[in-house]
């Protein structure tokens, strides 16, 4: 891909052009990358094989670490986020775990935002803490307002906005604090995508995605991707990519390239519908509080995606509300074409080890809403009807 696009401030149209450009690889004129469904790649000579194994060349060797279809997706994501390079994984948690396990070792400290994605929390508590990594959790405001918070911290793990409560960070301020202490910063940018936020431009070191969400956009792919500097991606490729084995498959990479083509118009559609529904919810009977991230260029947020949460007052029976929904489906995840509702009580009832919803006491009257691509008026009729039906 070739483009003059350098920043979201340049225009959403420029990013749309970048992501819609025809595939430029050697594929006989195909405008999409071919699915290279091969586990390994052979060499024409002993010398070529030895050069690859010795690191003197970078041709494809084995799909667990390198594949042309996956490389096409990684290249597109690196350009979209404004990073040097990228590495893709079989899930968002694959991306998160490979990144964090590459950047810290026993005895290191991680500072993490409160209300982090529940399985990120479980990774830290169930896997990394027992291996001798110290993890502390802080309100997002502390990362901005306490310049000494990151003293002695190896990695700051961030979300802006964070999960379920949708509090936001001033990324430039946090990055400046981190650099003074030699702390690396990692952010989950799944909510905003490069359409509405590009953390690397604000000094954040690593941006990653659950590409299952908006990057895919079709609810048919589970994937993750990490974008950063050549140095940090090299650390991940050298250690955790090959040894943990959570590499993205070629067919999923092909699906993700399809998703990237329509990312910009989809994100604006999500935003427009969400704004219309939020305007109506603000004064609707039974609504106690709306948790949403607002557009804030100073903080780095240039738009609003389709994910927010609503807290209802005591007049609303959450179970009845959920069962009265028709267009909205009940389920985990988000970012696809379909609208979804996730009642906090379901997450609070999750079996097994403690999750972040339980740890940070997400209100039981909260419902997370993901606005899909259906008609906004139809979605409003469905949601408002369900709320009315659920009022005692």
Mean pLDDT for all residues in the chain: 94
Mean pLDDT to the nearest integer, 275-297 = 96
Q: What is the pLDDT of residue 41?
A: 96
For 105, other C-beta atoms within 10 Å of its C-beta total 11
d(CA 322, CA 342): 9
Q: What is the pLDDT of residue 10?
A: 56
DSSP per-residue letters across 154-210: SEEEEESSPTTT-----HHHHHHHHHHHT-EEEEE-TTTHHHH--GGGGT-SEEEEE
For 80, other C-beta atoms within 10 Å of its C-beta total 26
Q: Would the pLDDT of 117 be above 50?
A: yes
For 101, other C-beta atoms within 10 Å of its C-beta total 19
Do residues 315 and 288 make contact, with C-beta atoms less than 8 angstroms apart?
no
The CATH topology of domain 264-390 is 3.90.1150
Q: For the chain, which residues make up each domain, given as ranges?
A: 264-390
Confidence band of 9 (pLDDT split at 50, 70, 90): very low
Q: Would the pLDDT of 363 be above 90?
A: yes
Q: Would the pLDDT of 318 be above 80?
A: yes
Q: Is 13 exposed, middle or buried (0-12, 13-18, 19+ CB in 10 A)?
A: exposed
Q: For 49-90, what is each residue's pLDDT tens digit?
A: 999 999 999 999 998 999 999 999 999 999 999 999 999 999
For 355, other C-beta atoms within 10 Å of its C-beta total 19
Q: Would the pLDDT of 1 be above 50?
A: no
Q: Would the pLDDT of 384 be above 90?
A: yes
Do residues 190 and 213 make contact, with C-beta atoms less than 8 angstroms apart?
yes
Mean pLDDT to the nearest integer, 252-273 = 97
Element (H, E) at 365: none
Q: For 134-158, what is each residue's pLDDT tens digit?
A: 999 999 999 999 999 999 999 999 9
Q: For 157-191, what is each residue's pLDDT tens digit?
A: 999 999 999 999 999 999 999 999 999 999 999 99
Query: What's the count of helices (H) and strands (E) in the chain, helices before strands?
Result: 16, 12
Do residues 229 and 84 make contact, with C-beta atoms less than 8 angstroms apart?
yes
Mean pLDDT to the nearest integer, 91-104 = 98
% of the chain at pLDDT higher than 90: 89
Q: Report which of residues 155 and 7 the model is more confident about.
A: 155
Q: Would the pLDDT of 3 be above 60?
A: no
Q: What is the pLDDT of residue 5?
A: 47
Q: For 198-232, what is each residue's pLDDT tens digit?
A: 999 999 999 999 999 999 999 999 999 999 999 99
Q: What is the pLDDT of residue 23?
A: 66
Q: What is the pLDDT of residue 127?
A: 97
| 3-state class (DSSP) for residue 356 | helix
């Amino acid at each position: 891909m070739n483009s003059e696009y350098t920043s979201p401030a340049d225009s959403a149209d420029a990013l749309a052009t970048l992501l819609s450009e025809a595939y430029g690889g050697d594929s006989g004129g195909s405008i999409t990358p071919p699915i290279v469904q091969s586990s390994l790649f052979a060499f024409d000579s002993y010398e070529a094989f030895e050069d690859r194994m010795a690191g003197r060349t970078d041709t494809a060797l084995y799909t667990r670490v390198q594949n042309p279809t996956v490389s096409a997706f990684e290249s597109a994501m690196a350009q979209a986020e404004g990073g040097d390079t990228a590495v893709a994984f079989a899930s968002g948690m694959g991306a998160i775990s490979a990144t964090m396990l590459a950047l810290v070792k026993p005895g290191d400290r991680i500072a993490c935002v409160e209300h982090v994605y529940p399985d990120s929390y479980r990774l830290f508590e169930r896997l990394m803490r027992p291996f001798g990594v110290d993890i502390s959790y802080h309100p997002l405001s502390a990362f901005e307002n306490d310049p000494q918070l990151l003293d002695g911290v190896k990695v700051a793990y961030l979300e802006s906005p964070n999960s379920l409560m949708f509090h936001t960070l001033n990324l430039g301020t946090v990055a400046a604090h981190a650099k003074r202490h030699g702390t690396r910063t990692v952010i989950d940018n799944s909510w905003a995508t490069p359409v509405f936020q590009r953390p690397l431009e604000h000094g954040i070191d690593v941006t990653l995605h659950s590409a299952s969400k908006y990057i895919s956009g079709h609810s048919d792919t589970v994937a993750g991707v990490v974008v950063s500097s050549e140095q940090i991606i090299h650390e991940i490729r050298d250690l955790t990519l090959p040894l943990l084995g959570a590499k993205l498959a070629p067919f999923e990479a092909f699906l993700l390239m399809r998703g990237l083509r329509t990312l910009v118009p989809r994100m604006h559609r999500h935003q427009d519908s969400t704004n219309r529904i939020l305007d109506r919810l603000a004064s609707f009977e039974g609504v106690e509080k709306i948790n949403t991230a607002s557009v804030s260029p100073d903080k780095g947020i240039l738009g609003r995606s389709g994910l927010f949460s609503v807290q209802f007052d005591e007049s609303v029976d959450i179970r009845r509300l959920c069962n009265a929904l028709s267009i909205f489906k009940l389920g985990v995840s988000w970012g696809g074409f379909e609208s979804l509702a996730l009642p906090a009580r379901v997450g609070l009832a999750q079996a097994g080890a403690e999750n972040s919803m339980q740890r940070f006491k997400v209100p039981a009257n909260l419902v997370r809403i993901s606005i899909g691509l259906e008609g906004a008026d139809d979605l409003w009729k469905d949601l408002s009807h369900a709320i009315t039906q659920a009022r005692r």
